[in-house]
Structure 1
Amino acid sequence: MDDDQDHGEEALFGNSFLRDTHAVQARLCALAPVHRAVAPNGAQVWVVLRYDDAQAAFTDPRLSKDAAGLRAALAAKLGESARGVALTRLVMPHMLHSDPPDHTRMRRLVVKAFTRRQIESLRPRITEFARALLDRLGGRSEADLVAEYAFPLPTMVISELIGVPLEDQERFRGWSDDFARGGDPGEQARAAGRITSYLAGRLPVVRAEPKDDLLSELVRAHDDDDDRLNDEELLGTVLLLMVAGHETSANLIANGTLALLRERGRWESVCAEPESLPGVIEELLRFDGPGTMASLRFTTAEVEIGGVAIPAGEIVLIGLSSANRDPARFRDPDRLDPRREPKAHLAFGHGIHFCAGAQLARMEAEIAFRELTGRFPGMRLAAAPDRLSWRPSLLFRGLHALPVAPGP
């Protein structure tokens, strides 16, 4: 079967979807506000496509994210296949896979540990990491910006944030890459197992010698608070922050660089006016953000979205790419416009599950682009944009590689 052709439900996740997510979702959006589709794992899902419907779906309590319920809904859709079992193992208990009151408890503890002061304290180290990576590109005729900058930078930051010792960072980075890049649920489950086993082994050390890092703060919350994290929630939370932070920042840097280099004037404008970066980053998040879909939800009762009745027990995805290019919300949505108003994109979600690491992702991106444009104002693409390939992923929007000519 040719995935580039329109085959109804299957067309949503074919090759054309990966290559040009926005065009495919926009076409579907024009046909219906909610589209029934087949995910890569074979499960039938419902995809909410329009901005207003997406925003409402984010806050509808009938769209649940409870881990046990999600596992049951996935199992009902996928049966006992090895792929289905591996996928359900990835639904770990943490705040992204929970509803109130458990979500309220876990998020309060994470926000307490993940403070603005702690995030801002990372600014000098992120700058140091970015400069060290860019030093390796100096004098090169060509480089892969994904493998050599966009991917390693967030991994270094997350390792620093959660207190991974220097001697462990190389293998930790390898597991993180295996998890983030793994298209197969079994491969991802194995990588997640290695990461959580490593973190579990670190807990006695952290308890004996706590430091000023996120893992130490979460262990304190686990040990001291009345509404504490249990062991599974603690490890699941660290894995969530690590993987979500890694993917969001890596894809934002790579996708944003591609978007700016495709319009030379945009790149040159950022080089000349680095103070414009906060606004540029918000538009890049809308225009070609790091995520394609929000993470899985399931219906606990029949829900009507955009005039479409979705029965109970169904899996629902919220289309970030389509919502952020909905012409009913954004004028001329396919144009990159850093001065655009309003800037209320949904790249970080909406409502109680709004991304807890959004501030860190924005800071990482600002530093990454400031250092990149400052060091290599003459950078150009070293491959035609239509020859670039995208990683197969239901949720994330990320390039396999981004060949660039750094320039002097």
Structure 2
Amino acid sequence: MSEVIDLAELAASAGLEQELERLARSHGIIRTRQLNQQETWTVLGAALTRELLSDPRLSNDVHTHAPHGALVPGLQVMLLEQDDPGHARYRRLVTAAFASKAVRELEPRIEEITRQLLDKLGDSGTADFIDAFTYPMPLEVICDLLGVPGEDRDPFRKWAMDISAAPSLEAMQASAGELFAYCIGLIGAKRERPTEDLLSELIAARFEDGSALTDEELSSFAAVLLIAGHDTVTNLLANALHDLLTHPEQLAALRRDPSLVGSAVEEALRFRGSAMTTVNRVALADIEAGGVTIRKGELVRFLLNAANRDAAVREDGHAFDIGRATAQHVAFGMGPHFCLGQRLARQEATIALTEILARFPSLELAVPEGEVRWLASDAIRGLEELPLRYARESA
């Protein structure tokens, strides 16, 4: 395929998924242009995605092999941008921390945050649910998890948005620098006075040889958790609400049987997952795949939303159906870099949807479906806003 597609430009329309389905029928891999105008191979097909996500010839260590493809140039300690054995060593330590008391006992706090935000909406009205709920809810959860003081949380919203859906490369890099600098200071404070949070757990954690994570490694982990654990959940929740409201028969089925909420979350992840693409990989050798030759040194990424709708996997992948079995989706990736926070994301989405639908028997889009605006992002699939009309009484 000779055409180079600007994925961010395409994502600004509601028709992104239909266009990807059209492309995937004839192309397993396409060429796309990223925010910094770099071109990369982008994998669409489900089988090819599963094959190449575990292919050792594709390296996540772009800093070493293709510095121009790094998420944040100059920062070489991102868990997302490491290969084994260093990645596996780091990941084991972080995985253990995710099993800590701070994470295990988070559910009551998620419920509390959810109810507080819904209380602020009142009994009825019209509001942008992204601004009023789906943005602040996961932000509060992640900041609680990291032990960020309440008075320091305001800048996190801008940092997260600029890094995941930046208007420019310069804005992304500037916000990343500010976020990492803040995290270094937070880590210093927690070294002196630990609290019951994930960051304090990681500061105290030790590798098998007795060594510990550096401030740079801790800072990069905190930053990734903010971006991956906050922005993706924000857009997962908004997308799920949008897709339920634009498929009224599915919403009615969920209201009749609230036990389907877990299945509804999985279908939302499959149908329009918020983590649209992976970070870049770099080819360590020439690779023949999908009818093209990926040359050594070229960048490769995976368009997870396209893989999840692949007609070779499910003929009706374009249909939103909360009753289907969707365990085989790749919304959280797969292989060595499978998302560490997937359990927390599912937990937040399940609690949020349960509480919203129980609170508001009357819930609908406050604008015509065609007027809903989508983010122009080549990494995150999400809405600019989600205006909803809600009431505690049925309409």
TM range (shorter): over 0.9
Match of 1:28 among 17, 23, 41: 23
Corresponding residue to 1:58 among 53, 56, 60: 53
Shift of residue 270 of structure 1?
2.0
Q: Which stretch has the larger CA shift, 170-179 or 318-327?
A: 170-179
Structure 2 match to 1:312: 296
Q: Please list, as runs of the form range in 1=range in 2, the aligned pairs for 1:137-286 lying within 5 A after superposition.
A: 137-221=121-205, 226-286=210-270
Q: How far off its partner does 1:368 sit?
A: 0.6
The amino acid of 2:16's aligned partner reads: T
CA distance in 2, matches of 1:88, 1:113: 25
1:162 is matched by which residue type in structure 2? L
Equivalent of 1:372, from 345, 348, 356? Answer: 356
Q: For residues 88 and 396 of structure 1, do their structure 2 counterparts lie closer, same or farther at Cα, with a shift above 3 Å needed? A: same
Give the corresponding residue for 2:9. Answer: 14
RMSD over aligned CA atoms reads 2.2
Give 5+ residue unaligned stretches, structure 2: none
Cα distance in 1, alignment partners of residues 64 and 15 from structure 2: 32
Amino acid at match of 1:390: W
Summarize deviations over 1:318-352 as a string: whole Å, max 9, x none.
Answer: 11111000011013111111222352100000011
Match of 2:63 in 1: 68
- Aligned-pair CA distance for 1:138: 1.8
Q: After TM superposition, give the deviation of residue 283 of structure 1 in Å.
A: 0.9
Matched residue SS, 1:406 = strand
Shift of 1:295: 1.4
Distance in 2 (CA, whole Å) between partners of 1:302 and 1:17 is: 33
Aligned to 1:3: none
Structure with higher helix content: 1
Whether contact under 8 Å (2:66, 2:282) holds in the other structure is: no
269-278 vs 166-175, which moves further: 166-175
CA deviations on 1:81-107 (whole Å, 9 max, x unpaired) are xxxxxx643855221110001101110
Residue 334 of structure 2 corresponds to 350
Mapping 1:74-89, distance limit 5 Å: 74=69, 88-89=72-73
Question: Residue 43 in 1 paired to residue 15 in 2?
Answer: no
Runs of 5+ consecutive residues of structure 1 not aligned to the other structure: 1-5, 76-86
Distance 2:121 2:300 in 1: 42
The secondary structure found in structure 2 opposite 1:285 is: helix
Given residue 212 of structure 1, which amino acid in structure 2 is its aligned partner?
E
Q: Secondary structure at the match of 1:143?
A: strand
Aligned ranges for residues 287-302 of structure 1 at < 5 Å? 287-302=271-286
Contact 1:46 1:315 in 2 (8 A): yes
Task: Tell me which residue corresponds to 1:397.
Answer: 381
Question: 3-state SS of the aligned residue for 2:210?
Answer: coil
Q: Which moved more, 1:103-112 or 1:114-123?
A: 114-123
User: Structure 1 stretch 344-353 or stretch 270-279: which is displaced more?
Assistant: 270-279
Q: TM-score, normalized by length of structure 2?
A: 0.93
Number of aligned positions between the proteins = 392
1:51 partner amino acid: A
1:21-46 deviation per Cα after TM superposition (whole angstroms, max 9, x unaligned)? 21111111112111122223211111
Partner SS state of residue 64, structure 2: helix
Counterparts of 1:190 and 1:63, CA distance in 2 = 29
Secondary structure class of the residue paired with 1:191: helix
Deviation at 1:292, TM superposition (A): 1.6
